[in-house]
Amino acid sequence: MDRSDQGGSSVPMNRRSFLAASAAGVAGLAMTGMARPARPQAAAGPVEWTPLPYAENALAPVISAGTIGFHYGKHHKGYVDNLNKLIAGTENEGKPLERIILDTADVPEKAAVFNNAAQVWNHAFFWNSMKPAGGGEPPAALRRKIEESFGSVEACREALLSAAVSQFGSGWAWLVLDQDKLKAVKTANAGVPLTMGLKPLLTVDVWEHAYYLDYQNRRADFVRAVLDKLINWEFALKNLG
């Protein structure tokens, strides 16, 4: 599969982060190397478990290596494995991930495929929405856009925090582009703004598995720490295009 289908993976890796991610990359290569009959015109191979763009301990102490290890190694991988089992031998096998998501959204009998596909996309996007020593001031071009839409970077941060905290139960908080304006929105469960005609720029996973080991029930503390210390504004600017 073309890496651009993976949402988050358009971020170029420097050598250090490539090396840090190489263990996960080996697993991804092993998956893409699985023997399959050649199918002309079809995207090759199963949906990929994309590499984590940094080491599992690189976000500590904001997010512990234990949390990332389970979240990436069990949850994210679980969605990939489930999806590949669900689509094997069906019309969705070999499609780019975003196509699978759009083709199964709001189709009740395809809910399991949608949920697993959207969670694969959301997690790849989430890993790239953070970086070690992130946070701080957005790059100038993004800051101008944020100020046009929210009034200030602080107001944008508060809108993201509010979306994250007010999501009842599992879900995601997003910075999105809606037409020409930035907005903070939330989605429940596997929901993804791609299906709502919105362009995702950043996300924060607010499923309990994202923070419970480190923050227990204190979701707001987790989100504040991610926004202040890890958020990858450069990734948002790249997605803004």
Residues interacting with Mn ion, by CB under 5 A? 205, 207
**Residue 127 or 207: which CB sits closer to Mn ion?**
207
- Minimum distance from residue 75 beta carbon to Mn ion (Å): 5
Q: Describe the crossing of helices 77-87 and 111-128 by its angle, rounded to 10 degrees.
A: 150
- Minimum distance from residue 223 beta carbon to Mn ion (Å): 14
Residue number closest to Mn ion, CB atom: 205
**Residue 48 or 205: which CB sits closer to Mn ion?**
205
- Minimum distance from residue 148 beta carbon to Mn ion (Å): 31
- Minimum distance from residue 150 beta carbon to Mn ion (Å): 26
User: CA-to-CA distance for 109 and 115, rounded, in angstroms?
Assistant: 11
**Residue 98 or 205: which CB sits closer to Mn ion?**
205
**Residue 150 or 207: which CB sits closer to Mn ion?**
207
